[in-house]
Amino acid sequence: MKNLAKYIVTRLLLTIPMVFILLSIVFIVLRVMPGDPVSSLLGGHAPEHVIEQKREALGLNRPLAVQYVNYLWQICRLDFGESMVFKQRVSKAILEKLPATVELTLCGMLITLFLGVFLGAYAADKRRTARDYGIRLYGIVVYCIPVYWMGLMLQLIFGIWLDILPIAGRTGPRVFASTFEKTGFYILDTILIRDFSALLDILQHLILPSVTLGLVLSGIFVRLTRTNMLDVLRADYIVAAEARGIRHRVIVYKHALKNAFIPILTMMGLQFALLMAGAVLTETTFSWPGMGRLLLERIYLRDYPTIQGIIIVIALFVALVSLVVDIIYAIIDPRVRY
Amino acid sequence: MRFSPAAAMARVISRFTAPAKKYGVEWWILVAGALIILAILVMAMFAEAIAPFSPHDQNTGPQLSPPNRVHLMGTDNLQRDVWSRMVHGSRTILRVAVLAAVISLLIGIPAGLLSGFSGGYLDRTLSLIMDSLYSFPGLILAIAFAAMLGPGVINITLAVSVIYIPTYFRLVRGQTLQIKEELFVEAARAIGASGPVILWRYVFPNVIATTVVVFTLNVADAIMIEAALTYLGLGLPPTIVDWGMDLSMGKKFLPSGQWWMITFPGAMISILALGFTMLGEGLAEILNPRLLER
C-alpha cells in the first residue's frame, strides 16, 4: 500500500507539466490570434481611447511575457481570476456548469460500459457466427456515427415522432432551480429532498443525451471486450473450468469476463478524453447547460480567463480519471505492483 | 486462344475473391470500405455532372419539400436541392480531412523519427509536449484553434491537423526506439552509414507500413471532427457547401419535423467515415493483426 501511495503522488506530480503545457499552448494561441475580449465587450465601433482604457484595465496592453507570468502565478495560487467579459469569478462560472457535465458523462460512461462489455463478451462467446459478425458490424458502424447526428436522430425519433421524451435541457418547466441548491447534481439533489416527481423529470431529460453518448462510444468497447475475451477464453483455466462441468454461461460471464475486464478498465481511462469531447457536442445538441456549452460561448466572446480555466479543469478531469482507473486496477488485480 | 469476355470477367473477379480465402471477412471489409470511398470520390470529382442543380441555386422548387422524384433528398428552407448540396459538399469534407491527416503526418513522422533516434533532452521535451496534447480531448483543442483562426478552408484544416500530430509522433517514436536496436541498424553503422542515412534508408521504411493504417483511420476521424466543427458553426464561411453546416441548419427544422434536412447530411458524414474506418480495419487485420489491439 505504501508503494501505491508513492505511485499516486508521482502521478499527481506528473499531471502538473501536462496542465502547464496545455495551458501555455492555449494561452499563446488565444493571444496571437486576432480578436480579443475588448472587441466583444464594446463592439467594433467604440472610440479608440475607450478601447485603450479597457485594454489597460484588463492588463491586455502589457507585454505577452508579463501577462503569461502573471497568469501562471495566479494559477499557482489556485486562483482562476475573473471573467473579462462578465462580472463573474471564473471558478464560480465553472462550478455552476461542472455538475451538469459530470452527470452526463457518468451516465454516458455507464451505458457505454454496460452495452459495450456485454455485447463484446457475447460476441466472443459466439465467435464466428452470424451474431458475432452482427455485433462487430454494430461496433464499427456505431463508431462512425458522429455523436451530434446520433443525438439529432434520437431527438427526431423519440422527441418529435414518438413524442415520449424531452429533447432539450436538464429539467422541465415545472421543476424550479431552487430545488437544486445543495450540490448541483440534480439526481443527488432531488433524492436528498425526496422530490421524486422532480427526479423522474430529471431522469427523463437525462435519457436521450446519455444514451447518445453511450451508444456512440460503445463501439470501441465492443471491439476491446471481444478481443480480450477471445484471449481469455483460450486460456487453460477456462478449459479446466469447462472440464469440471461448470455451466458455460457462468464460465463466460463470471470467470472469463472478470479477467478480461482489467485491460478494458485501462482503456476506459484512455477513452475518457473522447467522452469529454463527445460531451461538448452532446451538450450543444441537447441544449445541456454544461461546461462544453460554456466553453463554446466564451470562445466566441474571447473571454480568455474562462477559456483557460475550463481547459485546466478538463485536463485535470482527464488526468484524475486515468489515475482513479489505475488505482482501481491495482486494487482488483493484486499482481499489479507499482 | 480466343478472347472470351466471360473468362476475362472470371479472372477479374477471382483476383478479388482469391485474397478473401486467405484473409476471410477482413478482405471484404477492406473492399467494402474502398468501394464506399471510391463512390464518394467519384461524386466529388464529377459533382457538376451528377448534381441535378447548383448547390447555391435558391430556386429549384418548393421550399422545404420532402424527398420526391425531382428532389431525391428534398429541398431546404432556401429552396435549394439537398441532394445537389450533398454531392458538392463531399468536396469540402474530403479535402479538409485528407489534407489535415497529411499535414499531421508530415509533421508527426519526422518529429517522431528524430525524437526516437536522437534521444536525450530533445526526445524528453518533445515526448512531454506530445503526451500532453495526446491526453487532452482532441476535439476541444480543435475547437479552440478553429475559433481563434477564424473561418476558412485552410484554417479548419490546420485546426483538425493539430489533433493527429501526437498520434503519429507516438507511433513512430515507439517504433524507432525498437528498430534502432535491431541488428541491421548496427550493421549499417558498422559499415559507416551516417545518422541521417540510417534514419532515412533503414528506419523510415520499416515505420511506414503501420502509419498507412493509422492514416486511414485518422482520415475517418478527421471527417467526423471537420463536420463537428462546422456543425458548431466554427469552421467555414457560409458560401462554402459543407455537410456539417447543412446539418446544423437542418437542426433548426427538427422540431417542425423536416427530417430530410438532418437525416441526409448526417448519413453522408457517417457513410464516408465508415468507408475509411472499414478500409483501415481491413488493412490493419491484413497487415498486422495485433496492431489495433494495443
A234 occurs within a structural domain: yes
Q: From CA B70, how far away is CA B62, in angstroms rounded?
A: 11
Q: Spell out the residues 6+ positions from residue B41 whose beta carbon is closer than 8 angstroms to its own.
A: B94
Percent of chain B clearing pLDDT 90 (strictly above) = 25
Out of A76, A107, A129, a domain closes at A76
CA A216 to chain centre: 13
Q: Are residues A123 and A247 in the same domain?
A: yes
Confidence of residue A129 (pLDDT cuts 50, 70, 90): confident
Contact yes or no for B228 and A285 at CB 8 A: no
Using the structure block, give the residue that is written with the C-alpha cell 433524492: A191
Out of A53, A76, A99, a domain closes at A76
Q: Are residues A103 and A239 in the same domain?
A: yes
pLDDT higher than 60, residue B243: yes
Q: What is the mean pLDDT of residues B267-277?
A: 93
Report the residue of B132, B162, B281 to disrupt the A interface, i.e. the one with the largest count of A CBs within 10 Å.
B132
Question: What is residue B288's predicted lDDT score, i.e. its pLDDT?
Answer: 63
Q: What is the pLDDT of residues B15-29, one digit of tens each?
A: 767 676 667 777 888
Q: Are residues A112 and A68 in the same domain?
A: no
Q: Are residues A95 and A242 in the same domain?
A: yes
Q: Are residues A270 and A211 in the same domain?
A: yes
Q: pLDDT higher for A9 or B221?
A: B221
Q: What is the pLDDT of residues B73-95, one digit of tens each?
A: 878 777 788 888 888 889 989 99
Contact yes or no for B232 and A33 at CB 8 A: no
Cβ–Cβ contact B129 with A under 8 A: yes
Contact by Cβ (8 Å): B139, B228: yes
Question: What is residue B290's predicted lDDT score, i.e. its pLDDT?
Answer: 52
Show the cell assigned to B72. Answer: 431525391
Percent of chain A clearing pLDDT 90 (strictly above) = 6
**How close A116 gets to chain B, by Cα (Å)?**
16
Q: Are residues A270 and A192 in the same domain?
A: yes
Cβ–Cβ contact A101 with B under 8 A: no
Confidence of residue B292 (pLDDT cuts 50, 70, 90): very low
**How close A292 gets to chain B, by Cα (Å)?**
9
pLDDT higher than 50, residue A334: yes
Q: What is the pLDDT of residues A273-315, one digit of tens each?
A: 888 888 889 998 888 888 888 988 888 888 888 888 888 888 8
Question: What is residue B152's predicted lDDT score, i.e. its pLDDT?
Answer: 86
Domain, as residue range, for A68: 12-76
A83 occurs within a structural domain: no
Chain A, window 158-197: residues with a beta carbon less than 8 angstroms from a chain B beta carbon: 160-161, 167
The three-state (H, E, C) secondary structure of B144-205, written as one string:
HHHHHHCCCHHHHHHHHHHHHHHHHHHHHHHHHHHHHCCHHHHHHHHCCCCHHHHHHHHHHH
Q: Are residues A95 and A67 in the same domain?
A: no
Confidence of residue A182 (pLDDT cuts 50, 70, 90): low
Q: pLDDT higher for A128 or B159?
A: B159
Q: Are residues A228 and A272 in the same domain?
A: yes
Chain A CB contacts of B253 below 8 Å? none
> What average pLDDT is seen over chain A?
82
A85 occurs within a structural domain: no
Cβ–Cβ contact B128 with A under 8 A: yes
Contact yes or no for A274 and B132 at CB 8 A: no
pLDDT higher than 90, residue A81: no
pLDDT higher than 70, residue A176: no
Of A148, A276, A311, nearest to B228 by CB-CB distance is A148
pLDDT higher than 90, residue B111: yes
pLDDT higher than 80, residue A193: no
Question: What is residue B133's predicted lDDT score, i.e. its pLDDT?
Answer: 85
Contact yes or no for B140 and A276 at CB 8 A: yes
What is the number of structural domains in chain A?
2
pLDDT higher than 60, residue B7: yes
Cβ–Cβ contact B28 with A under 8 A: no
Report the residue of A14, A39, A152, A304 to disrupt the B interface, i.e. the one with the largest count of B CBs within 10 Å.
A152
Contact yes or no for A144 and B263 at CB 8 A: no
Contact yes or no for B247 and A149 at CB 8 A: yes
Q: pLDDT higher for A104 or B148?
A: A104
Q: Highest mean pLDDT range out of A48-62, A281-295, B95-109, B145-159?
A: B95-109
Question: What is residue A175's predicted lDDT score, i.e. its pLDDT?
Answer: 62
A136 occurs within a structural domain: yes
Long-range contacts of A266-272 (CB under 8 A, 24+ apart): A266/A325, A266/A326, A266/A329, A267/A220, A267/A221, A267/A224, A268/A109, A268/A113, A268/A221, A268/A325, A269/A321, A269/A322, A269/A324, A269/A325, A269/A326, A270/A322, A271/A217, A271/A220, A271/A221, A272/A109, A272/A317, A272/A318, A272/A321, A272/A322
> Is residue A88 helix, strand or coil?
coil
Chain B, window 263-292: residues with a beta carbon less than 8 angstroms from a chain A beta carbon: 263, 266-267, 269-270, 273-274, 277-278, 281, 292
Contact yes or no for B257 and A161 at CB 8 A: yes
- Gyration radius from chain B CA atoms: 23
Question: What is residue B5's predicted lDDT score, i.e. its pLDDT?
Answer: 74
Q: Are residues A262 and A186 in the same domain?
A: yes
Q: Are residues A224 and A140 in the same domain?
A: yes
Q: What is the pLDDT of residues A9-53, one digit of tens each?
A: 887 887 888 888 888 888 888 777 766 777 767 766 777 777 777
Of A144, A149, A307, nearest to B277 by CB-CB distance is A144
- Which residue is closest to B255 within chain A, CA to CA? A160
CA B175 to chain centre: 23
Of B143, B144, B266, nearest to A152 by CB-CB distance is B266
**pTM of the predicted model, to two decimals?**
0.87
pLDDT higher than 80, residue A131: yes
A84 occurs within a structural domain: no
Span of A23-32, A257-266, B2-11, B194-203 with lowest mean pLDDT: B2-11
Angle at B205 between CA B30 and CA B211, to 5 degrees: 40
- Gyration radius from chain A CA atoms: 24
**How close A194 gets to chain B, by Cα (Å)?**
33
CATH code, A231? 1.10.3720.10
A27 occurs within a structural domain: yes
Chain A CB contacts of B277 below 8 Å? 140, 143-144
Q: pLDDT higher for B71 or A103?
A: A103
Contact yes or no for A22 and B132 at CB 8 A: yes
A50 occurs within a structural domain: yes
**How close A244 gets to chain B, by Cα (Å)?**
31
Q: Are residues A233 and A155 in the same domain?
A: yes
Contact yes or no for B277 and A140 at CB 8 A: yes
Question: What is residue A211's predicted lDDT score, i.e. its pLDDT?
Answer: 92
Chain A, window 219-238: residues with a beta carbon less than 8 angstroms from a chain B beta carbon: 223, 227
Chain B CB contacts of A149 below 8 Å? 247, 262, 266-267, 269-270
Out of A23, A47, A76, a domain closes at A76
Span of A32-36, A69-73, B4-8, B191-195 with lowest mean pLDDT: A32-36
Which residues, listed in sequence order, are joined to residue B98 by a DSSP beta bridge?
none
Confidence of residue B294 (pLDDT cuts 50, 70, 90): very low
Report the residue of A144, A213, A310, A312 to disrupt the B interface, i.e. the one with the largest count of B CBs within 10 Å.
A144
Side chain identity, residue B192: G
Confidence of residue B276 (pLDDT cuts 50, 70, 90): very high
Question: What is residue B106's predicted lDDT score, i.e. its pLDDT?
Answer: 93
Show the cell assigned to A336. Answer: 499489479
Of B266, B274, B293, nearest to A227 by CB-CB distance is B293
Chain B CB contacts of A32 below 8 Å? 148
A1 occurs within a structural domain: no
User: How distant, in Å, are the alpha carbons of B174, B178, B193, B210 from that of B207?
Assistant: 10, 10, 19, 6
Tally of CB atoms within 10 A around B141: 21
Contact yes or no for A25 and B266 at CB 8 A: no
Of A17, A160, A227, nearest to B254 by CB-CB distance is A160
pLDDT higher than 50, residue B293: no
Q: Are residues A157 and A241 in the same domain?
A: yes
Question: What is residue B40's predicted lDDT score, i.e. its pLDDT?
Answer: 92
Chain A, window 260-319: residues with a beta carbon less than 8 angstroms from a chain B beta carbon: 273-274, 276-277, 280-281, 284-285, 295-296, 299-300, 307, 311, 314-315, 318-319
Of B131, B137, B278, nearest to A273 by CB-CB distance is B137
Q: Where are the alpha helices (DSSP H) in A64-195?
A: 64-76, 90-125, 130-143, 147-154, 186-192
Q: What is the mean pLDDT of residues B145-168?
A: 88
